[in-house]
């Protein structure tokens, strides 16, 4: 799919308006929420410069809007196997594999988690709060991130889970292998996360306008000065949060070339086989059941390809076989 664009010139009658209000008048078919999303994604520029919603437009300015092509109005079910970690009439917890997109988007119209969920539960067995393209979807994992995701099967469950995520009552623990020797044994990263205005596929921690984001971490094991295996807890849930935070520290997630990891990892002069995904896995998810209030905890075991990668890393670094096993015991 390709994007289309529209351009509007600011007249003397429009001068002085907030940019978002000016756009609402020019695009009566678009909601304020959608316009805000376009602004955050850097799809709206004033004389070639990305501006905030509060920017006051001036006479003679040119406002260009890059609009994504409309997508299909529904998702077709697909018979894709699912790894179910927990399931009842209100919620399910799925162990999403790396390589699977959560819901349809540009370039990912089929093979999605949503298509697999519709095949298993049917449209009536999933919440409708997220709309026809995202039935049951309360939160997301990146395409190349694996692990536990909670799915809402009723609208009531969905709304209560949204409140839990907003109030930071959901425990989200990840395992990540970082490129580099992270300083210290534990810490907290608090850097704002915002859309990278130059490359819209990326997020950045360099814009002050970003949304507050907090990641706590502790070291599980090290492989010399080249790699650090960590457990990370998300206290917020921003797009690409872990990937952005550790890239900002100079320790990108292994395999994550979008945020600075090398395409060819090496231990000294020994090349490692390409991982083919990010070494980032949502290992544990805990939340209060939206119907009963009972605490539900689901663990997603570390995928076999990540276990094998650690074994090859240990061999290349001349560590003892299974040297990571003790640190990863709860996740193997």
* Residues above pLDDT 90, as percent of the chain: 67
Average pLDDT over residues 204-212: 88
pLDDT of residue 321: 78
Q: What is the pTM of this model?
A: 0.80
Question: What dihedral do alpha carbons 101, 106, 107, 108 form, nearest 10°?
Answer: 30
Both tokens assigned to 59:
């006479």
Q: Give Dmax over CA atoms of the chain in angstroms.
A: 73
Confidence band, pLDDT 50/70/90 cuts, at residue 305: very high
Task: Give the H/E segment covering residue 113.
Answer: helix 113-121
Catalytically annotated residues: 142
CA–CA separation, 265 and 281 (whole Å) = 19
Lowest mean pLDDT among 22-36, 92-106, 134-148, 189-203: 22-36
Q: How many residues belong to the chain?
A: 332
Report the chain's mean pLDDT, rounded to a whole number: 91
Average pLDDT over residues 234-261: 96
Please name which of 246, 245, 258 lies closest in space to residue 182, comparing C-alpha atoms: 246
Average pLDDT over residues 170-184: 95
**Residue 327 C-beta-side C-alpha neighbours within 13 Å:** 18
Is 53 in contact with 113 (CB distance < 8 Å)? no
pLDDT of residue 69: 63
CA–CA separation, 9 and 11 (whole Å) = 6
pLDDT of residue 1: 43
Lowest mean pLDDT among 35-44, 55-64, 117-126: 35-44
Full set of structural domains in the chain with CATH: 4-67 (3.10.290.10), 84-166 (3.30.2350.10), 171-287+295-331 (3.30.2350.10)
pLDDT of residue 4: 75
Residue 146 has pLDDT above 80, yes or no: yes
Task: Sort 49 into a burial class: Cβ within 10 Å, 0-12 / 13-18 / 19+.
Answer: exposed
pLDDT of residue 3: 55
Confidence band, pLDDT 50/70/90 cuts, at residue 119: very high
């Amino acid at each position: 799919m390709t994007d289309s664009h529209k351009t509007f010139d600011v007249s003397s009658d429009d001068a002085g308006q907030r940019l978002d209000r000016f756009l609402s008048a020019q695009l009566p078919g678009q909601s304020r929420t959608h316009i805000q999303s376009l602004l955050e994604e850097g799809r709206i520029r004033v004389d070639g410069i990305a501006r905030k919603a509060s920017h006051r437009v001036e006479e003679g300015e040119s406002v260009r809007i890059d609009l994504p092509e409309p997508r299909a109005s529904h998702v077709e079910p697909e018979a894709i196997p699912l790894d179910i970690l927990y399931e009842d009439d209100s919620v399910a917890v799925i162990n999403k594999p790396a390589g699977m997109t959560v819901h349809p988007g540009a370039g990912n119209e089929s093979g999605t988690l949503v298509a697999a969920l519709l095949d298993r539960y049917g449209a009536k067995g999933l919440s409708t709060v997220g709309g026809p393209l995202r039935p049951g979807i309360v939160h997301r994992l990146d395409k190349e991130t694996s692990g536990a995701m909670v799915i809402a099967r009723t609208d009531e469950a969905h709304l209560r889970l949204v409140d839990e995520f907003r109030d930071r009552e959901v425990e989200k623990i990840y395992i990540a292998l970082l490129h580099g020797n992270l300083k210290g044994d534990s810490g907290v990263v608090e850097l704002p996360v915002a859309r990278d205005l130059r490359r819209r596929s990326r997020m950045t921690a360099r814009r002050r306008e970003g949304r507050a984001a907090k990641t706590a971490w502790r070291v599980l094991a090290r492989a010399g000065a080249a790699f650090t295996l960590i457990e990370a807890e998300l206290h917020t849930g921003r797009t690409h949060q872990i990937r952005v935070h550790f890239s900002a520290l100079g320790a990108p997630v292994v395999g994550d070339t979008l945020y600075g990891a090398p395409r060819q990892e090496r231990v000294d002069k020994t090349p490692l086989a390409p991982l083919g995904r990010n070494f980032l896995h949502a290992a544990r998810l805990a939340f209060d059941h939206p119907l009963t209030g009972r605490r539900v905890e689901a663990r997603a075991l570390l995928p076999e390809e990540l276990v094998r990668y650690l074994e090859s890393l240990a061999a290349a670094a001349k560590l003892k076989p299974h040297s990571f096993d003790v640190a990863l015991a709860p996740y193997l």
